[in-house]
Every structure is written in C-alpha cells, then in structure tokens.
Amino acid sequence: MKKNISLTFSALLLFSGLSAFSQQVLPTVTITAGNYKYLGAASGADDAAPVQRLQRTAAAYDVKSSDYYEEDYENYFISFYLPAGRVLACYDNAGKILYTVERYEDVVLPAVVSKAVAERYPNWGITKDVYLVNYKEGSGQVGKKYKLVLQNGDKRIRIVTNEQGEIL
C-alpha cells in the first residue's frame, strides 16, 4: 500500500514537472555563415578533406577579431596553410571574402576526373596532381582545374582538366 502511494506521488511530481517545461516556447533562430556564398561556390561534395578543411577555415575566419584589424584598411590578405595546400583570401573590412586563390597538391581526385582521365589515357598513371581554385565575389564563376602529370613507362605528359573531367 505504501509503495502504491509513493509511486503515485512520484508520478504526479514527474508529470507536473514535465508540463511546466513543455509550456516554454522558444523563438526561432536562424544562423548563417557570413561567407556562405564562397562556400557554396567554391566547395563541392567530391572535394578532398584538406580542400574542405581549408575552405571552411577561410569562410569561418573573423577579420574583426584579428590582431591586425583596423577600420582604416579596406582589404585584408590572410593566408591559410596545410601540408596539402594553401589558400590566400582577400577580405573586406566587414569580413566578407572578396576573392581567393587556392592551390592543393596530391589530393584525392574526384571520381569523375579519375574516370575521364583513365578512359582518355588508358595505361597511363597519374604521378602528380595540383588542384587550383580561383574564386571572385560577384563574378558568378569559380575557376576550378586539375593539372595532372601522367606517366606511361618513360613517357610523361601534362594535362589540365576541369572539375567535370573535361580535358582543357
């Protein structure tokens, strides 16, 4: 009998506490990155991990919290480095990315590029690759290309492809 009363009392306390929490309605908050246009234009789902990492770092960088920030300057040039690549980004004094110049070496190629090269150059192996990205705010285009060195025995050739694998 005592157990039933204590369980009933505990259940009442539990449900009365839950109803107090469920009555709070929080306002909707939307968070967007300041450089979402850069990320949307420059990054891709097939990009290698170092590429995505540096691009996200550049997009998340806050110029205003930098030691070098002064309101008098119009542009800030910030470099980001990893062993696999580097990004030079130009920011305005509000922290918006104006343009970037990116270079990555020996990254994993997207499947589309690898397949296109293998079909066009059978029996050739990729010995070196460089991925270049050029972004400019407002231009509507992002330059993405792969510079590849192919080798077949003693023969070597250099080719350039875009991100769809089309030989340029």
Where along the chain do its domains lie? Answer: 36-162
- Split at pLDDT 50, 70, 90, the class of 30 is low
Task: Compute the distance between CA of residue 19 and CA of residue 40 in angstroms, rounded to an integer.
Answer: 42
Whether 103 contacts 132, CB under 8 Å: yes
Give the global pTM. Answer: 0.74
Write down the pLDDT at residue 102.
93
Task: Compute the distance between CA of residue 75 and CA of residue 54 in angstroms, rounded to an integer.
Answer: 20
Query: Encoding tokens for residue 33?
Result: 């990155």
Query: Encoding tokens for residue 96?
Result: 């918006």
CA 97 centroid distance within chain: 14
Q: Give all strands of the β-sheet with 125-136 in edge-to-edge order.
A: 75-82, 85-92, 97-105, 125-136, 142-152, 155-162
Write down the pLDDT at residue 41.
76
Write down the pLDDT at residue 10.
53
Task: Compute the distance between CA of residue 40 and CA of residue 102 in angstroms, rounded to an integer.
Answer: 15
- Split at pLDDT 50, 70, 90, the class of 62 is confident
